[in-house]
Structure 1
């Protein structure tokens, strides 16, 4: 027997789609047809975050490390578009190298990925790239594609008021969907370009993005099993590296790839702190 949605829910979804409709994204200049409002986007992130974080080992319980991630993330977040979406940055304890951006501005890097980096500008590149996904609303659009517009609008409406058992079910469903969110190659190219923009605005050497991409590509070839999960959601190609290099050479000629990272000492100190925590935990 076919189950019909109540007439008021169908009407609410129709109104939601009409109300949000076609918008011009300020980060990319592209027109996007969104079925959820900014408030609903933020609610989805808030609802999904606890379950999502738990899936990746929870937050690393070292205040100095979390402050550091917030500091570096905040520097690129403050110079990005869509400031109506609050930015929050955190370090998760999972040893699987990865980084994520949930709808509503929650950005994460795992301990496994941080340990693969060698300087702070590479960290700024990771967080700048994920901030690019937030600013460009790639995560919202990818959810819309994968779940369908009507279902996403329904879940968003539920997320705004989701509490109790129903809220817990919704959180689990959203966290699972977000953990398996796949970006297109064009999304990845765009997030790289935006990440470079934000890094430069924040005072970082944008060559950190090229260093990061080369490092990730090398990892995908030498340790495909260990990093396969990351590359399913964030495809790395030589073309991404060439595009990033081309952008920097054209637009940011004042930066040299050989210039030392002025924050290298601070980054090493934080990475040692992370290594000590992981050693104690094991």
Structure 2
């Protein structure tokens, strides 16, 4: 049997279950991660890979799902976006890293994507859309790969029926999780609204670069205000003296900026 058929069979089996177990969720995420790696230009530079992993683990290992085998990767795409797969795979495009000014902004993104995994948003969405019989791929649901310059080569990832973009409710939950996630790691959650505002400004000047983010992460002024309210609600005693930036983050950004220009991958051959 071909890998694409197996991916579809695995996903369909999991989605028809009454309750998806953590073991099944991890299996689905692992399968999809293999196909994402085959289709998208994952950065293998040791320094960059180690840095994103260390920052991600610093946050994820303090959450309610610290038992997951979390994996963090950078995608060599100038599109501003990030996404997470079921079971703990988190991806951040270089374009989003380049859009940040300080470490606490990227930490907020990681905390947000970790929040989607904690809340099992993708699994719930996939089960819901499976019942409706809506046809789209898992990767199209969790990323913008069907809509950007890398996407046309990766449309055949996965094989299950799902629909792209998170709901505003899911985004609010993930924002709430993000605030708590970075606070536990002693990182200032103010980086969350700071990055939101940066992306909203970039949408006016570079819409094609940030449209992928807005397609999969609904963002408007009310969400920026909500994130600030969540931070205020955390209490002044928890906010003071938290990390915003460290020298190594600026070196990390320089390394990312020196990456080769993205190469559009060829679509993996379909097997039957």
Structure-1-length-normalised TM-score: 0.74
Report whether the alignment pairs 1:242 with 2:206.
no
Relative contact order (alpha carbons < 8 A, sep ≥ 6): 1 or 2 greater? 2
- Partners of 1:100 and 1:130 within 8 A in 2: yes
Q: Which residue of 2 aligns with 1:26?
A: none
The structure with the larger Rg is 1
Give 1:139 deviation, angstroms. 1.0
Q: Which residue of 2 aligns with 1:86?
A: 69
Instruction: In structure 2, list runs of 5 or more residues that go unmatched.
Output: 1-8, 139-154, 264-272
* CA-to-aligned-CA distance 1:97-116 (integer Å, 9 cap, x gap): 11000011100101111111
Q: How many residues align?
A: 233
SS at match of 1:17: coil
Query: How far apart, CA to CA, are the structure 2 residues paired with 1:260 and 1:201?
Result: 10
- Equivalent residue in structure 1 for 2:35, among 47, 51, 60: 51
Instruction: In structure 1, list runs of 5 or more residues that go unmatched.
Output: 1-8, 21-35, 156-170
Q: Which residue of 2 aligns with 1:25?
A: none
Give 1:37 deviation, angstroms. 1.8
Query: How far apart, CA to CA, are the structure 2 residues paired with 1:149 and 1:42?
Result: 24
Report whether the alignment pairs 1:227 with 2:238.
no
Give 1:50 deviation, angstroms. 2.4
Q: Which residue of 2 aligns with 1:197?
A: 180
Q: Structure 1 pair 280/135, CA: closer, same or farther in 2 (3 Å)?
A: closer
* CA-to-aligned-CA distance 1:7-61 (integer Å, 9 cap, x gap): xx9xx979x734x2xxxxxxxxxxxxxxx2211111111111122234332x212
SS at match of 1:183: coil
Q: Which residue of 1 aligns with 2:269?
A: none
After superposition, the CA RMSD in angstroms is: 3.0
- Partners of 1:117 and 1:123 within 8 A in 2: yes
